[in-house]
Structure 1
Amino acid sequence: MKYVKWTFYTLIVLTVFGFLHYVLPQHDIVRITDTETRRIDFGDNSIFWASADAGTGTAQPTRDVKFIETIRQNGRPMVYRNEDTGWIWPPYFKFDSYNLQTEASDLRSTSAAPRWVVVTHYGWRNEFFTIFPNAVGVRLADGPDERIIPWANIVILTLLAVAGIMLRRMWLQFRERTLDPMFGTAGEAWTDAGDRAGDARRGARTSWGRFKAWLRSLGG
Protein backbone atom coordinates (compact mmCIF):
# COMPACT_ATOMS: atom_id res chain seq x y z
CA MET A 1 0.00 0.00 0.00
CA LYS A 2 2.93 2.30 0.71
CA TYR A 3 4.25 1.90 -2.86
CA VAL A 4 0.79 2.59 -4.30
CA LYS A 5 0.55 5.82 -2.31
CA TRP A 6 3.98 7.06 -3.40
CA THR A 7 3.30 6.06 -7.00
CA PHE A 8 0.09 8.09 -6.91
CA TYR A 9 1.89 11.12 -5.47
CA THR A 10 4.68 10.78 -8.04
CA LEU A 11 2.16 10.73 -10.91
CA ILE A 12 0.50 13.87 -9.55
CA VAL A 13 3.84 15.69 -9.28
CA LEU A 14 4.88 14.65 -12.80
CA THR A 15 1.51 15.72 -14.21
CA VAL A 16 1.71 19.15 -12.57
CA PHE A 17 5.34 19.58 -13.66
CA GLY A 18 4.53 18.62 -17.26
CA PHE A 19 1.53 20.94 -17.35
CA LEU A 20 3.52 23.91 -16.05
CA HIS A 21 6.47 23.15 -18.32
CA TYR A 22 4.13 23.21 -21.32
CA VAL A 23 2.17 26.39 -20.57
CA LEU A 24 4.78 28.62 -18.91
CA PRO A 25 6.81 30.92 -21.19
CA GLN A 26 10.28 29.84 -22.30
CA HIS A 27 13.02 31.80 -24.07
CA ASP A 28 15.36 30.63 -26.81
CA ILE A 29 18.22 32.54 -28.42
CA VAL A 30 18.19 31.57 -32.09
CA ARG A 31 18.85 32.86 -35.60
CA ILE A 32 15.79 33.17 -37.85
CA THR A 33 16.36 31.65 -41.28
CA ASP A 34 12.91 31.84 -42.84
CA THR A 35 9.18 32.33 -42.25
CA GLU A 36 6.40 30.63 -44.15
CA THR A 37 2.75 29.59 -44.10
CA ARG A 38 1.70 25.98 -44.59
CA ARG A 39 -1.65 24.24 -44.99
CA ILE A 40 -2.05 21.85 -42.04
CA ASP A 41 -4.45 18.89 -41.82
CA PHE A 42 -5.13 18.28 -38.14
CA GLY A 43 -5.19 14.74 -36.78
CA ASP A 44 -4.59 13.05 -33.44
CA ASN A 45 -2.20 15.83 -32.37
CA SER A 46 -4.83 18.57 -32.79
CA ILE A 47 -4.82 19.32 -29.04
CA PHE A 48 -1.29 20.71 -29.44
CA TRP A 49 -2.42 23.34 -31.93
CA ALA A 50 -4.07 26.62 -31.01
CA SER A 51 -7.46 27.69 -32.31
CA ALA A 52 -7.90 29.49 -35.59
CA ASP A 53 -6.81 33.11 -35.82
CA ALA A 54 -9.19 35.69 -34.34
CA GLY A 55 -11.90 36.63 -36.82
CA THR A 56 -11.63 33.44 -38.91
CA GLY A 57 -13.69 30.25 -38.94
CA THR A 58 -13.12 27.84 -36.08
CA ALA A 59 -14.65 24.55 -37.25
CA GLN A 60 -12.01 23.77 -39.88
CA PRO A 61 -10.30 20.38 -40.22
CA THR A 62 -7.53 22.09 -42.19
CA ARG A 63 -6.18 25.65 -42.24
CA ASP A 64 -3.11 27.77 -42.89
CA VAL A 65 -0.58 27.99 -40.06
CA LYS A 66 2.34 30.41 -39.90
CA PHE A 67 5.80 29.04 -39.02
CA ILE A 68 9.10 30.60 -37.96
CA GLU A 69 12.17 28.56 -38.90
CA THR A 70 15.33 29.10 -36.85
CA ILE A 71 18.78 27.72 -36.08
CA ARG A 72 20.01 27.36 -32.52
CA GLN A 73 23.48 28.34 -31.36
CA ASN A 74 24.57 24.70 -31.51
CA GLY A 75 23.55 24.52 -35.17
CA ARG A 76 20.41 22.46 -34.63
CA PRO A 77 17.14 23.62 -36.21
CA MET A 78 14.08 24.74 -34.23
CA VAL A 79 10.72 25.43 -35.84
CA TYR A 80 7.98 27.42 -34.10
CA ARG A 81 4.35 27.78 -35.06
CA ASN A 82 2.86 31.26 -34.87
CA GLU A 83 -0.82 31.06 -33.87
CA ASP A 84 -3.19 33.30 -31.95
CA THR A 85 -4.23 32.01 -28.53
CA GLY A 86 -7.29 34.28 -28.22
CA TRP A 87 -9.12 34.64 -24.93
CA ILE A 88 -9.19 30.97 -23.96
CA TRP A 89 -6.10 28.89 -23.18
CA PRO A 90 -3.24 29.33 -22.56
CA PRO A 91 -3.92 32.85 -21.24
CA TYR A 92 -1.40 34.71 -23.40
CA PHE A 93 -4.18 36.73 -25.07
CA LYS A 94 -2.24 36.70 -28.31
CA PHE A 95 -4.01 38.26 -31.30
CA ASP A 96 -1.03 39.60 -33.26
CA SER A 97 0.33 36.54 -35.04
CA TYR A 98 0.45 38.44 -38.35
CA ASN A 99 2.47 41.27 -36.80
CA LEU A 100 4.78 38.76 -35.15
CA GLN A 101 5.30 37.02 -38.49
CA THR A 102 6.31 40.34 -40.05
CA GLU A 103 8.74 41.09 -37.21
CA ALA A 104 10.28 37.63 -37.52
CA SER A 105 10.68 38.03 -41.29
CA ASP A 106 12.45 41.35 -40.74
CA LEU A 107 14.94 39.67 -38.35
CA ARG A 108 16.08 36.94 -40.74
CA SER A 109 19.82 36.47 -41.14
CA THR A 110 22.44 34.12 -42.53
CA SER A 111 25.20 32.11 -40.88
CA ALA A 112 27.75 34.51 -42.40
CA ALA A 113 26.14 37.53 -40.73
CA PRO A 114 23.97 36.17 -37.90
CA ARG A 115 21.43 38.28 -36.02
CA TRP A 116 20.56 36.55 -32.77
CA VAL A 117 17.02 36.99 -31.51
CA VAL A 118 15.09 35.94 -28.41
CA VAL A 119 11.98 33.91 -29.19
CA THR A 120 9.49 33.67 -26.33
CA HIS A 121 7.24 30.64 -26.66
CA TYR A 122 5.29 27.96 -24.85
CA GLY A 123 4.85 24.30 -25.65
CA TRP A 124 7.14 21.52 -26.84
CA ARG A 125 8.86 20.43 -30.02
CA ASN A 126 8.34 16.76 -30.83
CA GLU A 127 9.31 15.51 -34.26
CA PHE A 128 7.65 12.10 -33.87
CA PHE A 129 4.19 13.56 -33.12
CA THR A 130 4.74 16.71 -35.25
CA ILE A 131 4.31 19.11 -32.34
CA PHE A 132 5.65 22.66 -32.47
CA PRO A 133 6.01 25.28 -29.71
CA ASN A 134 3.95 28.42 -30.26
CA ALA A 135 5.94 31.65 -30.50
CA VAL A 136 4.38 34.55 -28.60
CA GLY A 137 7.13 37.14 -28.93
CA VAL A 138 10.38 37.90 -30.74
CA ARG A 139 13.03 40.57 -30.19
CA LEU A 140 16.62 41.25 -31.12
CA ALA A 141 19.05 39.77 -28.57
CA ASP A 142 22.07 41.56 -27.12
CA GLY A 143 24.13 38.63 -28.33
CA PRO A 144 24.24 34.83 -28.43
CA ASP A 145 25.28 34.71 -24.76
CA GLU A 146 22.58 37.03 -23.40
CA ARG A 147 21.41 35.95 -19.96
CA ILE A 148 17.64 35.79 -19.65
CA ILE A 149 15.99 35.80 -16.23
CA PRO A 150 12.48 34.25 -16.44
CA TRP A 151 10.76 36.84 -14.23
CA ALA A 152 7.26 35.82 -15.37
CA ASN A 153 7.88 32.19 -14.37
CA ILE A 154 9.35 33.25 -11.03
CA VAL A 155 6.30 35.39 -10.22
CA ILE A 156 3.79 32.76 -11.38
CA LEU A 157 5.48 29.89 -9.51
CA THR A 158 5.77 32.03 -6.37
CA LEU A 159 2.07 32.88 -6.50
CA LEU A 160 1.20 29.21 -7.06
CA ALA A 161 3.38 28.19 -4.11
CA VAL A 162 1.73 30.79 -1.85
CA ALA A 163 -1.72 29.65 -3.02
CA GLY A 164 -0.78 26.02 -2.36
CA ILE A 165 0.43 26.82 1.16
CA MET A 166 -2.76 28.79 1.91
CA LEU A 167 -4.98 25.99 0.59
CA ARG A 168 -3.11 23.45 2.70
CA ARG A 169 -3.50 25.59 5.82
CA MET A 170 -7.20 26.08 5.10
CA TRP A 171 -7.63 22.31 4.66
CA LEU A 172 -5.79 21.55 7.93
CA GLN A 173 -7.92 24.08 9.81
CA PHE A 174 -11.10 22.70 8.26
CA ARG A 175 -10.12 19.16 9.21
CA GLU A 176 -9.14 20.20 12.74
CA ARG A 177 -12.26 22.29 13.39
CA THR A 178 -14.89 20.30 11.48
CA LEU A 179 -13.92 16.81 10.41
CA ASP A 180 -11.97 15.66 13.45
CA PRO A 181 -14.68 16.71 15.98
CA MET A 182 -17.36 15.21 13.75
CA PHE A 183 -15.61 11.88 13.39
CA GLY A 184 -14.60 12.00 17.05
CA THR A 185 -18.24 12.49 18.09
CA ALA A 186 -19.32 9.70 15.77
CA GLY A 187 -16.68 7.40 17.27
CA GLU A 188 -17.74 8.26 20.80
CA ALA A 189 -21.38 7.67 19.89
CA TRP A 190 -20.46 4.30 18.40
CA THR A 191 -18.52 3.40 21.55
CA ASP A 192 -21.41 4.51 23.77
CA ALA A 193 -23.84 2.49 21.69
CA GLY A 194 -21.60 -0.55 22.07
CA ASP A 195 -21.38 -0.02 25.83
CA ARG A 196 -25.16 0.34 26.07
CA ALA A 197 -25.63 -2.83 24.04
CA GLY A 198 -23.24 -4.68 26.34
CA ASP A 199 -25.08 -3.41 29.42
CA ALA A 200 -28.38 -4.47 27.89
CA ARG A 201 -27.06 -7.98 27.22
CA ARG A 202 -25.72 -8.28 30.73
CA GLY A 203 -29.00 -6.93 32.14
CA ALA A 204 -30.97 -9.41 30.03
CA ARG A 205 -28.86 -12.31 31.29
CA THR A 206 -29.35 -11.17 34.90
CA SER A 207 -33.13 -10.79 34.47
CA TRP A 208 -33.38 -14.20 32.82
CA GLY A 209 -31.43 -15.76 35.68
CA ARG A 210 -33.75 -14.19 38.20
CA PHE A 211 -36.79 -15.41 36.27
CA LYS A 212 -35.48 -18.99 36.20
CA ALA A 213 -34.77 -18.86 39.94
CA TRP A 214 -38.34 -17.69 40.57
CA LEU A 215 -39.68 -20.59 38.51
CA ARG A 216 -37.61 -23.06 40.49
CA SER A 217 -38.89 -21.60 43.77
CA LEU A 218 -42.48 -22.16 42.63
CA GLY A 219 -41.81 -25.79 41.91
CA GLY A 220 -40.46 -26.22 45.20
Structure 2
Amino acid sequence: MAYVKWAFILIFWGSVAALLHYTLPQHDVVRIVNTYEERQELNDWTRIFWASPDDQSANLTNRDVQFIQAVRPNGKVVVYRNEDTGWGWPPYFKFDTANLYTEANDAISTKEDPEWVAVTHYGWRSEILSIFPNAVSIKPVDGPDVRIIPWFNIIFLILFFALLRAIWVRWRRFREAKVVPMIESVEDGYYAASDALEESRGRFQKWLDSWKSK
Protein backbone atom coordinates (compact mmCIF):
# COMPACT_ATOMS: atom_id res chain seq x y z
CA MET A 1 0.00 0.00 0.00
CA ALA A 2 2.88 2.38 0.75
CA TYR A 3 4.22 1.99 -2.81
CA VAL A 4 0.80 2.71 -4.28
CA LYS A 5 0.43 5.79 -2.09
CA TRP A 6 3.82 7.23 -3.08
CA ALA A 7 3.23 6.39 -6.75
CA PHE A 8 -0.07 8.26 -6.63
CA ILE A 9 1.61 11.24 -4.93
CA LEU A 10 4.40 11.35 -7.53
CA ILE A 11 1.96 11.09 -10.44
CA PHE A 12 -0.29 13.80 -8.97
CA TRP A 13 2.47 16.33 -8.25
CA GLY A 14 4.24 15.48 -11.50
CA SER A 15 1.03 16.30 -13.38
CA VAL A 16 0.64 19.56 -11.46
CA ALA A 17 4.26 20.55 -12.21
CA ALA A 18 3.84 19.71 -15.92
CA LEU A 19 0.63 21.74 -16.13
CA LEU A 20 2.25 24.76 -14.45
CA HIS A 21 5.36 24.49 -16.64
CA TYR A 22 3.23 24.39 -19.79
CA THR A 23 0.84 27.17 -18.74
CA LEU A 24 2.95 29.79 -16.95
CA PRO A 25 4.61 32.45 -19.14
CA GLN A 26 8.24 32.02 -20.18
CA HIS A 27 10.58 34.64 -21.63
CA ASP A 28 13.17 34.17 -24.38
CA VAL A 29 15.64 36.77 -25.63
CA VAL A 30 15.92 36.13 -29.35
CA ARG A 31 16.55 37.66 -32.75
CA ILE A 32 13.61 37.25 -35.14
CA VAL A 33 14.71 36.10 -38.58
CA ASN A 34 11.45 35.26 -40.38
CA THR A 35 7.69 34.89 -40.17
CA TYR A 36 5.49 32.66 -42.29
CA GLU A 37 2.10 30.99 -42.46
CA GLU A 38 1.63 27.26 -42.94
CA ARG A 39 -1.26 24.81 -42.98
CA GLN A 40 -1.06 22.39 -40.06
CA GLU A 41 -2.70 19.01 -39.68
CA LEU A 42 -4.44 18.75 -36.29
CA ASN A 43 -4.25 15.20 -34.96
CA ASP A 44 -6.79 14.15 -32.35
CA TRP A 45 -4.15 13.38 -29.71
CA THR A 46 -2.10 16.57 -30.27
CA ARG A 47 -5.04 18.96 -30.73
CA ILE A 48 -4.85 20.00 -27.05
CA PHE A 49 -1.51 21.70 -27.80
CA TRP A 50 -3.10 23.99 -30.38
CA ALA A 51 -5.42 26.90 -29.70
CA SER A 52 -9.12 26.62 -30.52
CA PRO A 53 -10.19 30.25 -30.89
CA ASP A 54 -13.69 29.49 -32.22
CA ASP A 55 -16.23 26.69 -32.58
CA GLN A 56 -15.54 26.21 -36.28
CA SER A 57 -11.83 25.52 -35.81
CA ALA A 58 -12.63 22.82 -33.26
CA ASN A 59 -14.18 20.73 -36.05
CA LEU A 60 -11.37 21.22 -38.57
CA THR A 61 -8.61 18.67 -39.16
CA ASN A 62 -6.22 21.35 -40.47
CA ARG A 63 -5.91 25.12 -40.56
CA ASP A 64 -3.47 27.90 -41.42
CA VAL A 65 -1.18 28.88 -38.54
CA GLN A 66 1.23 31.79 -38.32
CA PHE A 67 4.80 31.08 -37.19
CA ILE A 68 7.69 33.22 -35.97
CA GLN A 69 11.25 31.96 -36.51
CA ALA A 70 13.96 33.24 -34.20
CA VAL A 71 17.54 32.60 -33.08
CA ARG A 72 18.78 32.63 -29.50
CA PRO A 73 22.02 34.40 -28.50
CA ASN A 74 23.79 31.01 -28.42
CA GLY A 75 22.80 30.35 -32.03
CA LYS A 76 20.06 27.81 -31.37
CA VAL A 77 16.89 28.25 -33.39
CA VAL A 78 13.39 28.46 -31.91
CA VAL A 79 10.02 28.55 -33.66
CA TYR A 80 6.85 29.99 -32.11
CA ARG A 81 3.28 29.70 -33.29
CA ASN A 82 1.11 32.79 -33.23
CA GLU A 83 -2.48 31.91 -32.30
CA ASP A 84 -5.25 33.64 -30.36
CA THR A 85 -6.21 31.97 -27.10
CA GLY A 86 -9.54 33.81 -26.86
CA TRP A 87 -11.44 33.11 -23.68
CA GLY A 88 -10.14 29.55 -23.42
CA TRP A 89 -7.27 27.90 -21.60
CA PRO A 90 -4.64 29.05 -20.82
CA PRO A 91 -6.26 32.33 -19.73
CA TYR A 92 -4.02 34.75 -21.65
CA PHE A 93 -7.02 36.34 -23.41
CA LYS A 94 -4.94 36.86 -26.53
CA PHE A 95 -6.90 38.41 -29.40
CA ASP A 96 -4.12 40.35 -31.19
CA THR A 97 -2.56 37.70 -33.40
CA ALA A 98 -2.50 40.04 -36.41
CA ASN A 99 -0.86 42.82 -34.40
CA LEU A 100 1.77 40.47 -33.00
CA TYR A 101 2.49 39.14 -36.48
CA THR A 102 3.11 42.71 -37.66
CA GLU A 103 5.36 43.43 -34.66
CA ALA A 104 7.36 40.28 -35.41
CA ASN A 105 7.82 41.29 -39.05
CA ASP A 106 8.91 44.75 -37.97
CA ALA A 107 11.51 43.24 -35.60
CA ILE A 108 13.19 41.02 -38.23
CA SER A 109 16.94 41.63 -38.26
CA THR A 110 20.15 40.11 -39.60
CA LYS A 111 23.15 38.56 -37.90
CA GLU A 112 25.28 41.54 -38.94
CA ASP A 113 22.83 44.09 -37.48
CA PRO A 114 20.85 42.20 -34.80
CA GLU A 115 17.78 43.54 -33.03
CA TRP A 116 17.07 41.63 -29.84
CA VAL A 117 13.58 41.16 -28.45
CA ALA A 118 12.02 39.34 -25.50
CA VAL A 119 9.31 36.91 -26.58
CA THR A 120 6.82 35.98 -23.90
CA HIS A 121 5.25 32.59 -24.61
CA TYR A 122 3.75 29.49 -23.08
CA GLY A 123 3.80 25.84 -24.09
CA TRP A 124 6.41 23.34 -25.25
CA ARG A 125 8.39 22.64 -28.39
CA SER A 126 8.48 19.03 -29.60
CA GLU A 127 9.76 18.08 -33.02
CA ILE A 128 8.35 14.56 -32.65
CA LEU A 129 4.83 15.76 -31.84
CA SER A 130 5.13 18.85 -34.09
CA ILE A 131 3.97 21.23 -31.35
CA PHE A 132 5.22 24.77 -30.80
CA PRO A 133 5.11 27.31 -27.96
CA ASN A 134 2.58 30.07 -28.51
CA ALA A 135 4.01 33.61 -28.57
CA VAL A 136 2.00 36.04 -26.45
CA SER A 137 3.97 39.29 -26.73
CA ILE A 138 7.16 40.76 -28.17
CA LYS A 139 9.16 43.53 -26.48
CA PRO A 140 12.46 45.09 -27.61
CA VAL A 141 15.39 44.71 -25.20
CA ASP A 142 18.80 46.35 -24.98
CA GLY A 143 20.85 43.28 -25.85
CA PRO A 144 21.22 39.50 -25.76
CA ASP A 145 22.50 39.51 -22.16
CA VAL A 146 19.49 41.23 -20.63
CA ARG A 147 18.09 39.43 -17.60
CA ILE A 148 14.33 39.06 -17.30
CA ILE A 149 12.96 38.31 -13.84
CA PRO A 150 9.71 36.31 -14.05
CA TRP A 151 7.87 38.33 -11.41
CA PHE A 152 4.46 36.98 -12.37
CA ASN A 153 5.61 33.36 -11.98
CA ILE A 154 7.26 34.12 -8.63
CA ILE A 155 4.16 35.83 -7.21
CA PHE A 156 1.82 33.20 -8.65
CA LEU A 157 3.81 30.27 -7.22
CA ILE A 158 4.06 31.94 -3.79
CA LEU A 159 0.29 32.46 -3.70
CA PHE A 160 -0.34 28.97 -5.11
CA PHE A 161 1.73 27.18 -2.48
CA ALA A 162 0.36 29.47 0.25
CA LEU A 163 -3.14 28.43 -0.81
CA LEU A 164 -2.15 24.75 -0.79
CA ARG A 165 -0.66 25.11 2.69
CA ALA A 166 -3.78 26.89 3.96
CA ILE A 167 -5.96 24.08 2.56
CA TRP A 168 -3.69 21.43 4.10
CA VAL A 169 -3.67 23.12 7.52
CA ARG A 170 -7.47 23.41 7.53
CA TRP A 171 -7.85 19.81 6.40
CA ARG A 172 -5.50 18.64 9.15
CA ARG A 173 -7.47 20.57 11.77
CA PHE A 174 -10.75 19.24 10.42
CA ARG A 175 -9.34 15.71 10.39
CA GLU A 176 -8.13 15.94 13.99
CA ALA A 177 -11.39 17.51 15.16
CA LYS A 178 -13.94 15.46 13.18
CA VAL A 179 -12.51 12.56 11.21
CA VAL A 180 -10.12 11.06 13.77
CA PRO A 181 -12.69 11.04 16.65
CA MET A 182 -15.24 9.46 14.30
CA ILE A 183 -12.76 6.76 13.24
CA GLU A 184 -11.83 6.13 16.86
CA SER A 185 -15.52 5.92 17.78
CA VAL A 186 -16.12 3.38 15.02
CA GLU A 187 -13.07 1.38 16.13
CA ASP A 188 -14.22 1.46 19.77
CA GLY A 189 -17.66 0.29 18.71
CA TYR A 190 -16.12 -2.49 16.62
CA TYR A 191 -13.90 -3.68 19.46
CA ALA A 192 -16.79 -3.46 21.94
CA ALA A 193 -18.99 -5.47 19.60
CA SER A 194 -16.20 -8.01 19.11
CA ASP A 195 -15.74 -8.36 22.88
CA ALA A 196 -19.49 -8.74 23.39
CA LEU A 197 -19.64 -11.36 20.63
CA GLU A 198 -16.72 -13.25 22.11
CA GLU A 199 -18.32 -13.14 25.55
CA SER A 200 -21.61 -14.43 24.12
CA ARG A 201 -19.79 -17.25 22.36
CA GLY A 202 -18.08 -18.15 25.62
CA ARG A 203 -21.39 -18.29 27.48
CA PHE A 204 -22.96 -20.34 24.70
CA GLN A 205 -20.03 -22.78 24.81
CA LYS A 206 -20.37 -23.13 28.57
CA TRP A 207 -24.09 -23.86 28.14
CA LEU A 208 -23.27 -26.55 25.58
CA ASP A 209 -20.61 -28.02 27.88
CA SER A 210 -23.14 -28.16 30.72
CA TRP A 211 -25.42 -30.32 28.60
CA LYS A 212 -22.54 -32.61 27.63
CA SER A 213 -21.75 -33.28 31.30
CA LYS A 214 -25.31 -34.49 31.85
Report the TM-score when normalising by structure 2.
0.91
Give 1:209 shift.
Answer: 5.6
Structure 2 distance, partners of 1:7, 1:139, is 42
The superposition leaves residues 60-109 of structure 1 with CA deviations (integer Å, 9 ceiling, x where unpaired) of 22211111111111111111000011111001111111111111111111
Q: Which residue of 1 aligns with 2:10?
A: 10
Comparing 166-175 with 156-165, greater Cα deviation is found at 166-175
Comparing 195-204 with 70-79, greater Cα deviation is found at 195-204
Comparing 201-210 with 13-22, greater Cα deviation is found at 201-210
Give 1:149 shift.
Answer: 0.5
Larger Rg: 1
| 8 A contact 2:57–2:63 mirrored in 1 | no
Q: How does 1:82-93 map to 2 (within 5 A)?
A: 82-93=82-93
Q: Which residue of 2 aligns with 1:138?
A: 138
Write the letter of the residue equivalent to 1:202.
Answer: G
Give 1:9 shift.
Answer: 2.5
Structure 1 distance, partners of 2:128, 2:145, is 30
Structure 1 spans left out of the alignment, 5+ residues: none
Structure 1 distance, partners of 2:131, 2:195, is 66
Comparing 116-125 with 182-191, greater Cα deviation is found at 182-191
Q: Report whether the alignment pairs 1:46 with 2:47.
A: yes
Give the secondary structure class of the aligned counterpart of 2:9: helix
Q: Which residue of 1 aligns with 2:165?
A: 165
Give 1:13 shift.
Answer: 2.6
Give the secondary structure class of the aligned counterpart of 2:18: helix
What is the count of residue pairs matched by the alignment?
A: 213
Q: Which residue of 1 aligns with 2:26?
A: 26
Structure 2 spans left out of the alignment, 5+ residues: none
Write the letter of the residue equivalent to 2:129.
Answer: F
The superposition leaves residues 36-56 of structure 1 with CA deviations (integer Å, 9 ceiling, x where unpaired) of 11111212422211114x697
Structure 1 distance, partners of 2:78, 2:20, is 21
Structure 1 distance, partners of 2:30, 2:65, is 21
Give 1:198 shift.
Answer: 2.4
Q: Which residue of 2 aligns with 1:194?
A: 194
Give the secondary structure class of the aligned counterpart of 2:33: strand
Give the secondary structure class of the aligned counterpart of 1:100: helix
The superposition leaves residues 8-44 of structure 1 with CA deviations (integer Å, 9 ceiling, x where unpaired) of 3222232222111111100000001111111112124
Report the TM-score when normalising by structure 1.
0.88
Change in 2 beyond 3 A, CA 1:57/1:198: closer
After superposition, the CA RMSD in angstroms is 2.0
Give 1:203 shift.
Answer: 3.0
